[in-house]
Amino acid sequence: MNLAELNKIAQAMVTPGKGILAADESTGTIKKRFDSIGVDSTADTRRDYRELLFRSTDAMSKYISGVILYDETIRQTAKDGTSLVKLIEQAGSIPGIKVDKGTKPLPFYPGEVVTEGLDGLRERLAEYRGLGARFAKWRAVIDIGAGIPSYSCIRANAHALARYAGLCQEEDIVPIVEPEVLMDGGHDIDRCAQVTEWVLKTVYEELYLARVQLEGTVLKPNMVVPGKKSGQRASVEEVAEKTIRVLKNCVPPAVPGIAFLSGGQSEEEATAHLDAMNKIGGVPWKLTFSYGRALQAAPQKAWSGKNENVAAAQRAFAHRARMNGLATLGQWKQELEKRAA
Ligand code: 13P
């Protein structure tokens, strides 16, 4: 393991002004996104859509530090034969790869899941490194509900995250450690804070036991928000304060940066929350984004599978990327959204 190299990559991933584009939707997930814009999901349409994003050269070079790819995408070439990995590198951005194999029900724990994908991971990581990946992602999923999450679910998922992170570092690949507490439930914001704290404390204990070097990692957590079905809304300030409070209680300063997932927040909410946290400041890590839906909803809609819409889709993507880039600096303003609209 080359810790100096890992730290350099991790620092680059969380460069102020920039963040990560999560374009690693599995074939099933991207099909759902394409269904909602009336586009057939084929290897070619998936390629065309992702090529459009990665060729948004101005946005990519100014605001996107890295891109998380899916197994299919890291092997694909653009229409002109250039590999998609090369397009990302040419824009000065870092290619990464999702390596988990999704979730499966946890036996004897109804309603809970554990993320799979450790078998053969060492060999897959070596291959992905050869294909250009310099960082990886593994997502653990924790749901909040009646009687859940359980200790066993949190422990099993944290252990798997730590095993994954160790294998990544052995291969000189920076692990994005993603324990996502879902915002789907009917819980309030304080319950989200309590569970997120429990999860993060367990994750950092497991990372320690696995001898993972935190300087060569990036954390990708949820923000602390009320559950979608709670009918409650929290102010931007409350989300920012409660999220920072939990992170300060759990995440060692050796971690270079925290790149939030958007998790079903609206695009503008995700930006406003990140911006508010950076306006509070005074934290030992860089705070940035690793958004999927909150970066792609607008460009997907603008594109809708039509060639003649590519430029409009690229403009929509560039706008969201710029807004989130500003949020990493605490320099976003809501009127910038109105002007663009
Ligand atoms: P969202 O920002 O859409 O939650 O996706 C980020 C991600 O990579 C989830 O694993």
Test site for ligand 1: of 290, 295, 296, 324, most ligand atoms within 8 A of the Cβ: 290
pLDDT-derived band of residue 340, with 50, 70 and 90 as boundaries?
Answer: low
Radius of gyration of the chain (CA): 19
Atom 10 of ligand 1: nearest residue by CA position: 139
**What is the DSSP pairing of strand 113-115 with strand 103-105?**
antiparallel
DSSP β-ladder status, 94-98 and 257-260? unpaired
Segment 212-224 mean pLDDT: 99
Q: Which two tokens stand for residue 8?
A: 């350099």
Among candidates 67, 63, 65, 64, which has minimal Cα distance to 50? 67
The pLDDT-based confidence of 338 (bands split at 50, 70, 90) is: confident
Largest Cα–Cα distance of the chain, in whole Å? 53
Of the candidates 25, 178, 206, 267, the residue annotated as catalytic is 178
* pLDDT reported for residue 339: 60
Between the alpha carbon of residue 57 and those of residues 28, 222, 237, 315, the distances in Å are 28, 29, 33, 11
For 260-264, what is the mean pLDDT?
Answer: 98
The tokens of 242 are what? 């409660």
Residue 67 is encoded by which pair of tokens?
A: 């891109």
User: Phi/psi of residue 282, each to 5°?
Assistant: 70, 25
Q: Three-class SS of residue 284? A: coil
Tens-digit pLDDT profile for residues 50-59: 999 999 999 9
Taking alpha carbons only, the member of 84, 302, 306, 290 closest to residue 319 is 302
What is the enclosing helix (H) or strand (E) of 286? strand 286-291
Tens of pLDDT along 72-101? Answer: 999 999 999 999 999 999 999 999 999 999
CA distance 191 to 195: 6
Q: What is the pLDDT of residues 139-195, one digit of tens each?
A: 999 999 999 999 999 999 999 999 999 999 999 999 999 999 999 999 999 999 999
pLDDT category of residue 207 using cuts at 50, 70 and 90:
very high
**What is the H or E stretch that residue 19 is in?**
strand 19-22
Domains of the chain: residue spans and CATH: 3-340 (3.20.20.70)
Given this model, what pLDDT does residue 58 score?
96
- Mean pLDDT over each residue of the chain, to the nearest integer: 98
The finding on whether 220 has its CB within 6 A of some atom of ligand 1 is no
Coil, strand or helix at 17: coil
Residue 126, pLDDT score: 98
Q: What is the pLDDT of residues 5-28, one digit of tens each?
A: 999 999 999 999 999 999 999 999
Indicate if 178 belongs to the active site.
yes
Does any ligand 1 atom lie closer than 6 A to the CB of residue 261? yes
Distance CA 50, CA 32 (A): 15
What residue's CA is closest to ligand 1, atom 8?
A: 22
**Each residue of 24-40: pLDDT tens digit?**
999 999 999 999 999 99
**pLDDT, tens digit, 9 for 90 and up, residues 126-136:** 999 999 999 99
Q: Are strands 286-291 and 19-22 parallel, antiparallel or unpaired?
A: parallel
Percent of the chain with pLDDT over 70: 99
- DSSP state, 259? E
Contact partners, residue 162, CB within 8 Å, separation at least 6: 203, 206, 207, 209, 210, 212
Whole-model pTM above 0.75?
yes
Catalytic residue (one of 18, 98, 137, 220): 220
By most ligand atoms within 8 Å of CB, the mutation choice from 29, 32, 138, 291 for ligand 1 is 291
Which amino acid type is present at position 230? Answer: S
Confidence grade of residue 341 (pLDDT, cut at 50, 70, 90): low
